[in-house]
Structure 1
Amino acid sequence: MLDNISKDARGNVYAAMCPCRDLLDVLANKWSTLVIGALESGPQRFGQLKVRLQGVSPKVLSQTLKRLEGRNLLTRTVYAEVPARVEYELTALGHGASRPLKDLRDWVETNVTRAEPRP
């Protein structure tokens, strides 16, 4: 697929055909940003993430985890226990994405009142 994209479009998020846009779409999602932040401290189970990410539905959390796993941003490990235990953990790529996303989350928390919608 990348062979069909011009060299000018690769690695240029402003180019319409840049594959970067798909990854940007995944990372710019509110729940993706929050899941990555929640996993910065280490592996967590689905239930732990659900409690931490107040307001996320199980369906949206599941979809988000699958999207992040599909982009190699986190791993899903199933332990052969009864009942089965599943943990999610950031990959090296996910940890790399977590740094700028943490800066974004910090900025939002600091500036939320200054960016309130105008009447």
Structure 2
Amino acid sequence: MRSHGGRVRAIITGEAHIHADKVAAITGCLVPFPNYPAHIPMQRVDYICVVDEIGDPAKIATGAAKPTTDQRKLLMAEYCTQVVANTPYFKDGLSYQTGVGGLTKPMGNLF
């Protein structure tokens, strides 16, 4: 486990490399072959693990990941969403990943 800066340093010094040696996909929803469109090509996945449920929402939504109720932050999320939605990149097929902070959850909900 490294900080953002620690990861960069580890990559630069060769202590860590970027590409995984093995890739395991964890899913709660296995679909028939072929999965189209695939976000990760099958040639890059070594293992697929099917689980009943991914994560425990009661434990995930704590600390930094706790959704915000602060009206100022919710308004900021709305403005950020509008900025993204008005770029030429916001179109069908866009893949968008939010971070863990309390502000990103409302953004994901607005999309």
Q: TM-score, normalized by length of structure 1?
A: 0.21
- Hey, which of these two has a bigger chunk of helix by percent? 1
**Which protein has the bigger strand share?**
1
Greater C-alpha Rg = 2
